[in-house]
Amino acid sequence: MLFRTLAVPAAVAAASIIPPRATCENPTVRKEWRSLSADERDSYISAVHCLAKQPSKLGLSTTQYDDFPFVHNALNNDIHFVASFLPWHRYYVHIYEQALKECGYTGAAAYWDWTLDSDDTPKSSIWDPVTGVGGNGDPNTPVTIDGYTYKCVSDGPFKDLRPAYLTDTYVPHCLRRNFNNGSDSIGDMFSPRYTPDAVAKIHALPDYDSFRINLENGPHGAIHSAVAGDLMPATSPNDPLFFLHHTQIDRLWSLWQQVDPETRVNDFSGFRTQNKTGQPTPAQATLDDIMPMRNLAKDIPIRDIMSTQSDLLCYTY
């Protein structure tokens, strides 16, 4: 499902124009995870654990950390395989970044540049238990949920994280990962889909909708499928790796926009919604479309999130 390909419709003119000029004077700089200092990594990890102890801001009986997968799951069909995939997740990562700051983190959202690891992803330093996010699920620590057996992460900074939801069901469980290449083997973890060359081909696409479709169905879906476990269902933000992954997706969109900022900061088109069977509806997206956040944050129009140099976002890579 993550690799489903949609037809690219004709570009739709934006409802109005967004000024391309920067309005923020001192943008924060988002860094690759492995370029963070040890203190920065520790601060980030501590903030994640803080969120996992704070009460829900949505009125749930679970934690503030669980608010994020809960909302992501609730909006699953509204935010994937549609035009708003990139702006919605850009806003979502921003909201998460602000939540980390409320928990004492002083840095910016970090990203995992998986193109750097595509020659041997299973041996990436991102899986290091000390400097990374921990590794694959341990076959010696299985957990059975609804008749299916999963592997629990047993090392690294998030080995004791207890996500509360699987899709819309309350099922407290260990953090799960199941590295794979589409079979029972770990293999190359779908790395051909996110090599530098594969990403360069996507980056060369001239319009937003073809860029979005190929990025979402290619590298984005490949990483979710390759790591699997909690990174696979609609509650994929259960795994803190989700946010490093999606900040990288946002980075690639930002780099694509910077090729021709005056045009691409306004370039937005494609299908607005999909029906219950997962097929796109005829309605075309516009910059005036409102992004639903289910009380995680204020619902805002897509136009407000198109530039990372706005007063709202004010960051760069």
Contact (Cβ atoms closer than 8 angstroms) between residue 210 and residue 43: no
- Measure the CA–CA gap between 192 and 311, rounded to whole angstroms: 37
Contact (Cβ atoms closer than 8 angstroms) between residue 111 and residue 105: no
Question: Stretch 242-259: mean pLDDT, rounded?
Answer: 99
- Measure the CA–CA gap between 317 and 60, rounded to whole angstroms: 34
pLDDT of residue 13: 32
Q: Which CATH architecture describes the domain 28-316?
A: Orthogonal Bundle (1.10)
Strands (E), 215-295: 290-291
Percent of the chain with pLDDT over 90: 86
Q: What is the per-residue pLDDT across 276-301, written as a single tens digit (0 to 9) for each?
A: 777 878 889 999 999 999 999 999 99
pLDDT of residue 1: 37
- Measure the CA–CA gap between 161 and 50, rounded to whole angstroms: 11
In 3D, which of 74, 70, 44 has the Cα closest to residue 56?
Answer: 70
- Measure the CA–CA gap between 272 and 285, rounded to whole angstroms: 4
Give the contacts of 8 (CB within 8 A, at least 6 positions apart): 209, 210, 213, 270
Question: What does DSSP assign to residue 184?
Answer: S
- The CA-CA-CA angle for residues 51, 121, 99, to 5°, reads 15
Q: What is the per-residue pLDDT across 182-216, written as a single tens digit (0 to 9) for each?
A: 999 999 999 999 999 999 999 999 999 999 999 99
In which residue are the tokens 């690294």 written?
Answer: 156
Q: What is the per-residue pLDDT across 50-92, written as a single tens digit (0 to 9) for each?
A: 999 999 999 999 999 999 999 999 999 999 999 999 999 999 9
Please state, as a whole number, how many other Cβ atoms lie within 10 Å of the Cβ of residue 59: 8
Quote the pTM value: 0.92
Total residues found in the chain within this entry:
317
Mean of pLDDT over the chain: 92
Contact (Cβ atoms closer than 8 angstroms) between residue 296 and residue 69: no
